[in-house]
Amino acid sequence: MLRLRRNFHLSRHPLLFKPFSTAAPLPPLHLPLSHPTYILWGSNTSVGKTLVSAGLASSFLHSDSPSNFLYLKPIQTGFPSDSDSRFVFHKLSSLYRRRHARLSLLASDHVLNASLPVLNSITGCGDGSELAMCELGQYEEQRLVGEESGLGSRLICKTMYAWKEAVSPHLAAERESGVVDDALVIQSLQSCLNSGLGVNGESEGAETRAMCLVETAGGVASPGPSGSLQCDLYRSFRLPCLLVGDGRLGGISGTISAYETLKLRGYDVAAIIFADNGLENEVVLSSHLRDRVPILVLPPIPADITDDLMDWFDNSQNVFDSLKEIMLSAYSKRLNRLREMPKKAKSIFWWPFTQHKLVADEAVTVIDSRCGENFTVFKDQGDEFMTQQFDACASWWTQGPDAALQTELASDMGYAAARFGHVMFPENVYEPALECAELLLAGVGKGWASRVYFSDNGSTAIEIALKMAFRKFSIDHGIHDAQECNADAQRSELMVLALNGSYHGDTLGAMEAQAPSCYTGFLQQPWYTGRGIFLDPPTVYMHGGKWYLSLPVGLQPETLRLENAFFDSRDEVFDEKRDGSDLAEIYSAYLSQQLSNSSKSNSLLGALIMEPVIQGAGGMHMVDPLFQRVLVKECQDKKIPVIFDEVFTGFWRLGTETAAELLHCVPDIACFAKLMTGGIIPLSATLASNSVFESFIGDSKLEALLHGHSYSAHALGCTAAAKSIKWFKNSQTNLNINAEGTSLRELWDENLVYEISSHPAVKRVVALGTLFALELQADGSNAGYASLYARSLLLKLREDGIYTRPLGNVIYLMCGPCTKPDSCSQLLIKLLGGLDDFISESRENLESYHS
Amino acid sequence: MLRLRRNFHLSRHPLLFKPFSTAAPLPPLHLPLSHPTYILWGSNTSVGKTLVSAGLASSFLHSDSPSNFLYLKPIQTGFPSDSDSRFVFHKLSSLYRRRHARLSLLASDHVLNASLPVLNSITGCGDGSELAMCELGQYEEQRLVGEESGLGSRLICKTMYAWKEAVSPHLAAERESGVVDDALVIQSLQSCLNSGLGVNGESEGAETRAMCLVETAGGVASPGPSGSLQCDLYRSFRLPCLLVGDGRLGGISGTISAYETLKLRGYDVAAIIFADNGLENEVVLSSHLRDRVPILVLPPIPADITDDLMDWFDNSQNVFDSLKEIMLSAYSKRLNRLREMPKKAKSIFWWPFTQHKLVADEAVTVIDSRCGENFTVFKDQGDEFMTQQFDACASWWTQGPDAALQTELASDMGYAAARFGHVMFPENVYEPALECAELLLAGVGKGWASRVYFSDNGSTAIEIALKMAFRKFSIDHGIHDAQECNADAQRSELMVLALNGSYHGDTLGAMEAQAPSCYTGFLQQPWYTGRGIFLDPPTVYMHGGKWYLSLPVGLQPETLRLENAFFDSRDEVFDEKRDGSDLAEIYSAYLSQQLSNSSKSNSLLGALIMEPVIQGAGGMHMVDPLFQRVLVKECQDKKIPVIFDEVFTGFWRLGTETAAELLHCVPDIACFAKLMTGGIIPLSATLASNSVFESFIGDSKLEALLHGHSYSAHALGCTAAAKSIKWFKNSQTNLNINAEGTSLRELWDENLVYEISSHPAVKRVVALGTLFALELQADGSNAGYASLYARSLLLKLREDGIYTRPLGNVIYLMCGPCTKPDSCSQLLIKLLGGLDDFISESRENLESYHS
């Protein structure tokens, strides 16, 4: 799995090396799909989950061919008097004997871990002072001989963790000092799911049918031992579900609510089953679920607790047979769909930014779900399984939620859709839009913005910003008086001032504001002309642990002293004291000259537009913040409205809520999107100062800003944004943020960043906020956007559980504002390993590397 | 409320008039906000809801100032042995006596309606053959004298409907032949909420405090008498909620699930309260709800059923006092927020298409929620209340769901966010995107499209379509071989062929493809040039019951015979037989000439782009479908790619899934958005034929279509689209659609449409699918987009419960594909009334009208 860094880095820089965080990485999720695995939930406690488990096991094992059934009970309280796995084990054995099976059966029950009180009550001894859980290893088995000897079936029952008191697991765990944290439960469960059917060293015959059932404790939202709700605890597996409903009075409500709780966690429910109570609950349930989920009704459970239930199981057998068939069929259907997805996708999707001819079937990633920062991905490598990949593209720069925020947002999306669906915006007000606008003005717009204009994505936010800026500029500079509709005779040619390497979106208006690039050629957009003066910006990058300044040709006077050419730390780069430096003067002089040059032409510079600090799509370049600050000042002095495109940089992407904070200056207009909603739903906002807004006030509607989209300020988007904005900056919910809610802690381990920046395969590195980017050393066609140079490295990283997609020879890792620094370190360690492999593969590089 | 048509319409056209559907309109929702009204839910049956009601009533009434408490039990089963209203009535009376209250109390219990078995059991007689519910009118009251005489308090308890059997209401109703449909329950409840506190003719003193509590039956999702779940049944009121949780083992799960079911219906829960069982369920609940909902714990309820509970109530009093305070405070907070919303909105929103100077505070609509097609709107007209308005803007042309689909979509949005959040699209596949693409190709793209390109809104879908068309055209016409990045030397000037009055979105690329208008002037978009040849189209409209053809100047040859100038029916307009008409030849000759004229210029026509059948934003004009069909043919003959902009027209807007079906021809590229997701979340798709797709296939990524948005094919959008596409065309879920799923029934009553088209205030009418539009007779500045001419009519309609927003002097009503024709008729009747008023107000019009 994890490959360790090669030691040479350590030996080369012994003084600088400090041990980095080495929290043992969890083994990546691996869920076998060779047989059906289901998780069994109850709509309440005491609705008969274990009866269903036993009945299902019986139906599955009562077969003419060898079959293995794995029953797992991760959490058991009330032990040893209550033991669901022992119940299944015993009942199955009785049923098997009673029914004269053809095949032999080896049945076992195994209790792996238990609390100390359990241990004491069983062994009668134990040291009362010990805390935490003990290995119990209580095992019993029975061999039941069928009519035929030879290869038999197996029933494997396991209880993973047991506590003594018959209360909710979180209470039992607490009272018995036996709390097990969520990660350990998940890890143990994964281990049982993977090895459980291969216990005792017997290899599974190819013809052996197998099924696995995980039975939860209590209801769907009952807490596990740590207090996390079980529906959240097991979410990363997203196993297909069975729900045991409630046939009693009130049971319709409980069953529907439990079903909704599962759906609201992204689970699929294959069937609902419950015991009849003569109330025909199935009628309303079927009608409400519109027959999408099969509903099975078992005979009433005998009230007499001394009943051995043998007759009940016999009477229920046809229902359990149906349930088994439904489960097998849902399993095949799902697997077939997963298998066909890459081919189908390739035949009907038209992916953006993708040359379809270059996409192999096996290169298509089948994403079954996501949980927090991780994709769950279907893999077919001989055996089929689900695994996890860290979404290091942050789903294309939008993604923010950890698993907890994702659950919150899911609930909020359901709520917003139910409360509002969508309601149109103009001249209306509704809570999510108002709250979102208030939060934006109190946050990213604080101190300068007074109005919020909502639209759909970064590109439209930019087009709106340009319209705002041009109107403001026109009025300030007396370019026109109020014009009649369609009077285009007096048109002036307005241009933007922008930086080379900038990117503002793919709609024509946004493209016109960016410099020519491979996105803008005739092949791509025959209407592009490039309506701007585009300046080469000075950039800053890290290499070998130092931050270097790279000046464009036009900005390299001999007068520049050498000590300006690099910085000892990133903080120095952002230091406002640089305003008094020679370089600041050089920038200022250069920009004044550029602005006066441009004013001689026919066209007018009507707006400055730029991405503060980091140019994203242009290749993750950090522009010298001093240069941008001087530029903003020069423009504002000349009453040229300044637009900050914070679509990529906004909302903690760079470690502060806005990148403007890093620049220490404010714009007149700013655009936000992507992370604003937590990254789960499109919404954008263009914020403007009051004086910009005022330039659209007049007596006629024709003077208003006549740009809009149907879903402006849509309720779902605003709801997601309001939740995420608050979540990210609250230190109660985001452990990465400081108490004042003003900046993220450092997420990328300093030493690892240093290591990577010194790697021979690496030309430059930028690490800031949630972004880590590197440019591979590459020449000629290996460099640039269309380069496939990094392909082998990416495949390696994906194998290693990191989903990345490069910008040519630029590779980046992007996490969310809440991602644990430990996870980031794991990413960097894997990246280092990948770079080592990458360079070994390239002979020429290898030679220079050894020299 | 409802004003009837004036009779002169009837008398003028006696032969044509048929009585139209006159289903009695429900009184519009009217919820008083003069006092707090809450709805009380249970997380299960038997969790003590009625104890909470009684405790709360007691706390509220135990006051030094006169207070009125209204307790409503809409649905009661097990009656008369169980009667929650009687329980509250009796317990309160006992408590009141016990506590030596200062003020007198008049307490009453009133059972309004009951099933026949109830009546029989009470009166001992009754005719067994009768069905349905009877008025029962069982009433008892008690006057409890306090320490002070004079003005006293009141407790009013009411049971609205009672059934005998102690089972779920739907079962009791069915078994007792006493089903009450949902509309009646809602209507009765509304009536009780409005008049309940003013019973006995006593007027409420200004200083009288009041509170109302509605107690539901069973759990949150227990069925009401019709079988509808109660959480759905009462949704249109969206009363603030109290949830009685469950303190027992398993109660955490049940409480959380019930809470989630309420949130998933758009309810707000003000507090959760439950009786202690020693399990500290409140700890996990608080932690899970992140302290956002107050959780109150009552003392354990005595197990002894003979206990009179007096001590328990005494011990619980401080908890109920806290609950009361929470409720009063939440009520004030909500009301204050509602009151401040218009002002706040005006001060921080920047609404699109809105001249802020022209918006008065009172013109701002405060939308509390939507349920199906209706907004719930806060009104302050002396008294404050919530009312309903039919969203006749279909929230700006996107909206589709009825209440049932909205609930489904809410659940799906929660599920999709929980399962996927957002996952990036390029080279990936995940279920919602795949299913959505499959449905699009099998539906709106059937027979011609092979690829789906997802983006965010109509405007981006159009920009992508243009890029596709230009590439296809360039390759077909050999305009360039594969070009290097940035080689812009050989650029040809590509133009579109389009129609005047067209609208394709507000981003620059989309604007360039439309004719100059008030949206495109320098004031709005200084970069607009209008890169097209724009033709005046012939249009069709209804007036006085006939469909007239209006030919533009260039298309009015003397040869055109008069009988071509109108049609007897709309079907005739769409008849394919017109292909053989003289007019078809005239169109064809005209278009050939236009195309050859344009080919003489320097620029090339690289695409035809048009909105099939209806030009929406341009003023709801119906273009002659014959003209469009001929135009498509002419272009396809010349290998000019044809783009249909179905952003507005697609997905049943015009009665068929695509407007292309009405034209009987197919495009090469088509754009969809708005209704595609059911209208609740932004998503768009550009569909393309295989030959268009092939023109982007090559060896380099630079030949791929390099346009994309982060949220391309986002999971929430695709999930909503997949559900809505299926819902709309399935006759099981959409009662308006024919069995084959190919067309909507006629939604606009023929006679009412006729009436309106003959109205003297009306210039023209278009009624098609979900669209009804009319143009008011207007001259000069009263006509056109910026006109405020229709203002008084709109205000009248809003007062009448219809939310409309005009396009200048064009007024439209837009419903969803599932809207009941009865609702549409109600809209038309109100519109007719509004038109009558409108014309009376205008003196000049009135004169010509009487002449």
Give the gap in angstroms from C-alpha B806 to the nearest C-alpha of chain A: 12
Give the mean pLDDT of B502-524.
Answer: 94
The answer to whether the Cβ–Cβ distance between A522 and B487 falls below 8 Å is yes
- The widest CA-to-CA distance across chain B, in whole angstroms, is 101
Chain A residues whose CB is inside 8 A of the B171 CB are: 279-280
The answer to whether the Cβ–Cβ distance between B520 and A486 falls below 8 Å is yes
pLDDT band at B483 (very low <50, low <70, confident <90, very high): very low
Give the mean pLDDT of B198-212.
Answer: 63
Q: Contacts from B128-137 at CB under 8 Å and sequence distance 24+?
A: B131/B177, B131/B178, B132/B177, B132/B178, B132/B179, B133/B161, B133/B178, B133/B180, B136/B111, B136/B112, B136/B162, B137/B110, B137/B111, B137/B112
Asked whether the beta carbons of A681 and A507 are under 8 A apart, the reply is: no
Q: How many CB pairs under 8 A join A and B?
A: 634
pLDDT above 50: residue B156: yes
The answer to whether the Cβ–Cβ distance between B523 and A703 falls below 8 Å is yes
The answer to whether the Cβ–Cβ distance between A263 and B525 falls below 8 Å is no
The answer to whether the Cβ–Cβ distance between B426 and A353 falls below 8 Å is yes
Average pLDDT score over chain A: 91
The answer to whether the Cβ–Cβ distance between A518 and B702 falls below 8 Å is yes
Where are the extended beta strands (E) located within B544-677? 546-550, 566-567, 604-610, 614-615, 621-623, 642-645, 669-672
Give the gap in angstroms from C-alpha B392 to the nearest C-alpha of chain A: 11
The answer to whether the Cβ–Cβ distance between A512 and B527 falls below 8 Å is yes
Residue from A175, A373, A522 whose CB has the most chain B CBs within 10 Å, to mutate: A522
Please name which of A219, A446, A634, A716 lies closest in space to residue B677, comparing C-alpha atoms. Answer: A716
The answer to whether the Cβ–Cβ distance between A424 and B706 falls below 8 Å is no
Asked whether the beta carbons of A299 and A315 are under 8 A apart, the reply is: yes
Q: Could you report the per-residue pLDDT of B20-37, keeping only the tens digit for each?
A: 334 455 667 899 999 999
In the block, which residue shows the tokens 């391309």?
B712
pLDDT above 90: residue B203: no
Chain B residues whose CB is inside 8 A of the A480 CB are: 522-523
* Higher pLDDT, residue A482 or A119: A119
Average pLDDT score over chain B: 91
In the block, which residue shows the tokens 């409108």?
B838
Pairing of strands B383-391, B30-32: antiparallel
Looking at residue B416, its pLDDT comes to: 98
Give the gap in angstroms from C-alpha A317 to the nearest C-alpha of chain B: 28
Give the gap in angstroms from C-alpha A577 to the nearest C-alpha of chain B: 35
Residue from A256, A523, A693, A804 whose CB has the most chain B CBs within 10 Å, to mutate: A523
Chain B residues whose CB is inside 8 A of the A452 CB are: 348-350
Give the mean pLDDT of A771-781.
Answer: 92
Taking domain A39-335, whether its CATH number is 3.20.20.220 is answered by no
pLDDT above 90: residue A381: no
pLDDT band at A19 (very low <50, low <70, confident <90, very high): very low
The answer to whether the Cβ–Cβ distance between B423 and A264 falls below 8 Å is no
Pick the residue from chain A with its C-alpha nearest to B506.
A707
Please name which of A605, A197, A182, A673 lies closest in space to residue A453, comparing C-alpha atoms. Answer: A673
Q: Which of A229, A488, A518 sits opposite B256 (nearest CB)?
A: A229
- The CA distance from A150 to A144, in Å, is 12
The CATH 3.90.1150.10 portion of chain B extends over 750-850
Chain B residues whose CB is inside 8 A of the A410 CB are: 414-415, 417-418
Give the gap in angstroms from C-alpha A544 to the nearest C-alpha of chain B: 32
Give the mean pLDDT of B147-170.
Answer: 92
Neighbours of B564 (CB within 10 A): 14
Q: Is the peptide bond before B80 cis (omega within 30 degrees of 0)?
A: yes
CATH of domain A750-850: 3.90.1150.10
Q: Is pTM beyond 0.90 here?
A: yes
Chain B residues whose CB is inside 8 A of the A407 CB are: 418
Please name which of A775, A786, A761, A764 lies closest in space to residue A837, comparing C-alpha atoms. Answer: A761
Please name which of B85, B128, B127 lies closest in space to residue B107, comparing C-alpha atoms. Answer: B85
CA-CA distances (angstroms) from residue A774 to A204, A675, A756? 46, 22, 8
Looking at residue A202, its pLDDT comes to: 46
Pick the residue from chain A with its C-alpha nearest to B170.
A284
Please name which of A541, A549, A565 lies closest in space to residue A757, comparing C-alpha atoms. Answer: A541
Q: Which of B287, B410, B507 sits opposite A508 (nearest CB)?
A: B507
Looking at residue A469, its pLDDT comes to: 98
Pick the residue from chain B with its C-alpha nearest to A402.
B421
Q: Could you report the per-residue pLDDT of B301-340, keeping only the tens digit for each?
A: 999 999 999 999 999 999 999 999 999 999 999 999 999 9
pLDDT band at A685 (very low <50, low <70, confident <90, very high): very high
Give the mean pLDDT of B778-797.
Answer: 85
pLDDT above 90: residue A14: no
Give the gap in angstroms from C-alpha B84 to the nearest C-alpha of chain A: 17
Looking at residue B692, its pLDDT comes to: 98
pLDDT band at A647 (very low <50, low <70, confident <90, very high): very high
For chain B, the distance separating the N- and C-terminal CA atoms, rounded to the nearest angstrom, is 30
- The CA distance from A320 to A300, in Å, is 14
Give the mean pLDDT of B388-401.
Answer: 95
Burial string for B511-533 (b: 16+ CB within 10 Å, else e) reads: bbbbbbbbbbbbbbbbbbebbbb
The answer to whether the Cβ–Cβ distance between A260 and B265 falls below 8 Å is no
- The CA distance from A97 to A371, in Å, is 44
Give the mean pLDDT of A388-406.
Answer: 96
CA-CA distances (angstroms) from residue A713 to A265, B382, B499, B842? 26, 30, 31, 37
Q: Could you report the per-residue pLDDT of A606-634, keeping only the tens digit for each?
A: 999 999 999 999 999 999 999 999 999 99
Taking domain A426-480+494-713, whether its CATH number is 3.90.950.10 is answered by no
pLDDT above 50: residue A1: no
Give the gap in angstroms from C-alpha A310 to the nearest C-alpha of chain B: 28
The CATH 3.40.50.300 portion of chain B extends over 39-335
pLDDT above 50: residue B14: no
Pick the residue from chain B with its C-alpha nearest to A480.
B523
Asked whether the beta carbons of B393 and B803 are under 8 A apart, the reply is: yes
Give the gap in angstroms from C-alpha B437 to the nearest C-alpha of chain A: 7
Pick the residue from chain A with its C-alpha nearest to B376.
A420
Give the gap in angstroms from C-alpha B760 to the nearest C-alpha of chain A: 28
Looking at this predicted complex, what is its ipTM?
Answer: 0.95
Chain A residues whose CB is inside 8 A of the B357 CB are: 697-699
Give the gap in angstroms from C-alpha B782 to the nearest C-alpha of chain A: 13
Where are the extended beta strands (E) located within B62-152? 67-76, 105-114, 134-144
Chain A residues whose CB is inside 8 A of the B473 CB are: none
Looking at residue B8, its pLDDT comes to: 29
The CA-based angle A11-A16-A20, given to 5 degrees, is: 90
3 state SS of B239: coil
Chain A residues whose CB is inside 8 A of the B421 CB are: 370, 395, 399, 401, 406, 409, 679-680
Looking at residue B197, its pLDDT comes to: 80
The answer to whether the Cβ–Cβ distance between B355 and A700 falls below 8 Å is yes
Chain A residues whose CB is inside 8 A of the B175 CB are: none
Looking at residue A131, its pLDDT comes to: 63
Q: Could you report the per-residue pLDDT of A409-427, keeping only the tens digit for each?
A: 999 999 999 999 999 999 9
Q: Which residues pair with A39 in a beta bridge?
A: A214, A241
Looking at residue A481, its pLDDT comes to: 53
A191 Ramachandran zone, left/alpha/beta (phi>0; psi -120 to 50): alpha
Give the gap in angstroms from C-alpha A797 to the nearest C-alpha of chain B: 16
pLDDT above 90: residue B555: no
Looking at residue A556, its pLDDT comes to: 73
Looking at residue B281, its pLDDT comes to: 96
Looking at residue B18, its pLDDT comes to: 35
Neighbours of A196 (CB within 10 A): 22
3 state SS of B831: helix
The answer to whether the Cβ–Cβ distance between A429 and B367 falls below 8 Å is yes
Looking at residue A786, its pLDDT comes to: 75
The answer to whether the Cβ–Cβ distance between A512 and B507 falls below 8 Å is no
Q: Is the peptide bond before A80 cis (omega within 30 degrees of 0)?
A: yes
The answer to whether the Cβ–Cβ distance between A705 and B352 falls below 8 Å is yes
Give the gap in angstroms from C-alpha B785 to the nearest C-alpha of chain A: 9
Percent of all residues in chain A with a pLDDT value above 90, rounded to a whole number? 81
CA-CA distances (angstroms) from residue B456 to A478, B194, B224, B710, B794? 36, 44, 40, 9, 31
Give the mean pLDDT of B761-775.
Answer: 97
Give the gap in angstroms from C-alpha B100 to the nearest C-alpha of chain A: 38
Please name which of B504, B767, B530, B512 lies closest in space to residue B610, comparing C-alpha atoms. Answer: B504
The answer to whether the Cβ–Cβ distance between B250 and A45 falls below 8 Å is yes
CA atoms within 13 A of residue A692's CA, in its CB half-sphere: 30
Chain B residues whose CB is inside 8 A of the A486 CB are: 516-518, 520-521
Looking at residue B25, its pLDDT comes to: 55
The CATH 3.40.640.10 portion of chain A extends over 426-480+494-713
Chain A residues whose CB is inside 8 A of the B290 CB are: 733
Pick the residue from chain A with its C-alpha nearest to B218.
A250
Burial string for A549-575 (b: 16+ CB within 10 Å, else e) reads: bbbeeebeeeeeeeeeeebeebeebbe
Chain A residues whose CB is inside 8 A of the B396 CB are: 424-425, 710
Neighbours of A500 (CB within 10 A): 17
Helix ranges, A250-389 (H): 251-263, 281-288, 310-348
3 state SS of A738: coil
pLDDT above 60: residue B851: no
- The CA distance from B541 to B790, in Å, is 20
pLDDT band at A74 (very low <50, low <70, confident <90, very high): very high
Chain A residues whose CB is inside 8 A of the B693 CB are: 350, 356
| DSSP result, A398-417 | T----HHHHHHHHHHHHHHH
Pick the residue from chain A with its C-alpha nearest to B220.
A253
Please name which of A43, A70, A66, A74 lies closest in space to residue A56, comparing C-alpha atoms. Answer: A70
**Pair of tokens at residue A469:** 């800026």
The answer to whether the Cβ–Cβ distance between A422 and B375 falls below 8 Å is no
